[in-house]
Amino acid sequence: MSATSTKKTGLFEGADLGSVFKNSILRLNPIYQARNPVMFLVFVGSIITTGIFAVMLVKPDSVIGGGQPLWFVGLITFWLWFTLLFANFAEAIAEGKGKAQADSLKKSRRDVPAKKLVKGTDRSKFQSIAANTLRKGDIIVVEAGDFVPSDGQVIEGIASVDESAVTGESAPVIRESGGDRDAVTGGTRVLSDWIVVRVTSDPGESFLDRMISLVESAKRQKTPNEIALSILLAALTIIFLLVCATLLPFSLFGVERAGSGTVITITVLIALLVCLIPTTIGGLLSAIGISGMQRLIKANVIATSGRAVEAAGDVNVLLLDKTGTITFGNRQAVEFFAGPGVTQQQLAEAAELSSLADETPEGRSIVVLARKLFGLPDKDIQSLKAEFIPFSAEQRVSGIVINERHILKGAGDAIAKLVALKGGSVPHEVTVMIEDIARQGGTPLTVAEGNQVLGVVYLKDIVKPGIKARLADLRKMGIKSVMITGDNPLTAAAIASEAGVDDFLAQATPETKLKYIRQMQEGGELVAMVGDGTNDAPALAQSDVAVAMNSGTQAAKEAGNMVDLDSDPTKLIEIVEIGKQLLMTRGSLTTFSIANDLAKYFAIIPAAFATTYPVLGALNVMHLASPQSAILAAVIFNALIIIALVPLALKGVKYRAEPAAKMLSRNMFVYGLGGIIAPFIGIKLIDMALAAVGLA
């Protein structure tokens, strides 16, 4: 870290302030400034006023000064350069924070040797080569203790992999061939066993490389909306340039015809031009874009382009997988329904015993619920000396044999058959319970002891807490939520109603998902979805915003335009919020920038032309002290407002879940009306300060 940097918190956290200030100055060169037409015009104006000031230092009464005081030209020049420096500072601080992120990511990228197989997938024959020489399609073996040298797809073997260097999650994950968990990321480490991997990226194209590129603005490409706004700002700049260019001949003509007044000077013309062109948003536009991408990276999401982030801000249909996104994915026991002649506690005790050796989430939840409701003591499985009956797909039951007690739990029809073999039957009341639970979207698990059916355990696909409120927030913003599930329509409808989604697609297949997305898009909707399997790839490729899970298949990741390194399906909602915040920030500051021009008209126009046309003095509604102080106050405010808005550009406008019309009205009030009022107050206060120090 630079010696000149200071401890940073909040806004400057992660940025080396020494480097930021240095970069702000180094960017005062024509090649860099030419990238931004608005600020390039300020740059040219600063050079011209600097030349005028230099000439006046040598010859104070030079005609080029137009009779203006030396101090006035000097201060105008000083603040024009500071306008550029403040704009450079905004971008440099954003890039500085990005560079800190990139440096952290680069530490995860290891230049390790790779074991490239030389004969098919024969692990015994390999050559050790540098990781940066690997090419897409190469076959490598990664063994316990080795770092994965490049992104790839597991084609043989199974291993426990530490992905904390990339995801920040300390718990290891399983990566294996032939399933939906076959993708590995360069920089991760194999903890046990071995895997044979097919490399899927060339050097410089891995996930880590793409993440680094996203936060290093030198490689950042402007998004479509950013390009469109840049064109608009350039057009406004050209218009104001043409207007100001006509003012000099107009002033010459006016003074000649009126026989009084003074001709507007080049210094004043430049000051007027700089104050009228949209320098505020022109100076902050790049910083807004960089900060938006950094918020995405901070959420552990890789986007292939800024276009995907902007599309996330515009989506109005969200396709959400039921399992893992809306529900936890593991059914949980929520209630015991006892049959005739059986108490609820007797049913709970039997269900608990039959689930002691059941390591499934459902089995563990039955044990937890029984102990919670009835205070049943913990049991030592070894001391019970019981025989456990494991679940089998053929029998569809599991249970326990203990002290001549035969307790089974399982699907209703499977238990009915086993009970019938022992001379028992399923009571009508229990059959009704089973049907009611199924109708509500739950899973009924029947419990029997010997030839007696004790009752039913209600297993429920638990809806994640808070998901209903988040979906309600999306609805307020005009975003439709659609749940995708393979469940039957009855179960899907029950869960959809509980979760509060707007619609659902039951018994979904890859073909039906793709068809649904196309129908939405043909109706003018922008669609976002999450997927992790190969069967999700067609729908991901069709979606406008497609978030693939890092734990998913290579096909899914290649089809998507974003990858969530945390493999959290609910992240899609956060991605939409980040996209909307980016668009809101850009729009709000553009509105503010254009609106605050109004006060500058009332400051500079009377100051420039009142001597020729005294009637224009009526426009001096702020009662500014003198023409020089009015112009100087406007230029100073124009520079200071950029630095004042840097925190907002970096943090973003506060996101609120509300309808677009209400959001627009509030932002127009805050940033439109605020953009009109703030300059009147700011320019007046600066003018009073200038008058107080004798510069009026």
Q: In angstroms, rounded to a whole number, what is the distance separating the alpha carbons of residues 655 and 480? A: 18
User: Distance from first CA to last CA of the chain, Å, rounded?
Assistant: 44
**Dihedral sign from CA coordinates of 661, 664, 666, 672:** negative
Rg for the chain (alpha carbons), in Å? 34
Q: Is 188 helix (H, G, I), strand (E, B) or coil?
A: coil
Element holding 635 (H helix, E strand): helix 627-651
Catalytic residue among 321, 461, 487, 597: 321
Say if residues 520 and 527 touch (Cβ distance below 8 Å).
Answer: yes
Q: Is 358 annotated as a binding residue?
A: yes
d(CA 153, CA 185) in angstroms, rounded, equals 9
Cα angle 465-471-476, degrees, rounded to a multiple of 5: 140
Helix (H, G, I), strand (E, B) or coil at 621: coil
List the structure tokens of 549. 């899970």
Q: Based on the residue annotation, tell me whether 436 is a catalytic residue of this protein.
A: no
Q: What residues pair up with 196 in beta bridges, in sequence order?
A: 141, 156
What is the DSSP secondary-structure string of 113-132? EEEEESSTT-TTSEEEEEGG
| Environment class of 312 (CB within 10 Å of its CB; exposed 0-12, middle 13-18, buried 19+) | buried
Q: Given 3-state DSSP classes, what are the helix, strand and coil percentages for the chain, each rounded to the nearest 5?
A: 55, 15, 30
CA distances from 258 to 299, 308, 661 (A): 65, 59, 51
Please say whether the beta carbons of 495 and 441 come within 8 A.
yes
Judge whether 436 is annotated as a binding position. Answer: no
- Residue-wise burial string across 222-253, b where 16 or more C-beta atoms lie within 10 A, e elsewhere: bbebbeebbeebbebbeebeeebeebeeebee
Q: Nearest CA to 520 among 692, 316, 327, 368?
A: 316
SS3 per-residue string spanning 28-47: CCHHHHCCCHHHHHHHHHHH
Find out whether 559 and 544 touch, Cβ atoms under 8 Å. no
The reply to whether 409 sits in an annotated binding site is: yes
- 532 has binding-site annotation: yes
Annotated binding site: 358, 362, 409, 532, 536
Annotated binding site for Mg(2+): 532, 536
Which residues are tagged catalytic? Answer: 321
Annotated binding site for ATP: 358, 362, 409
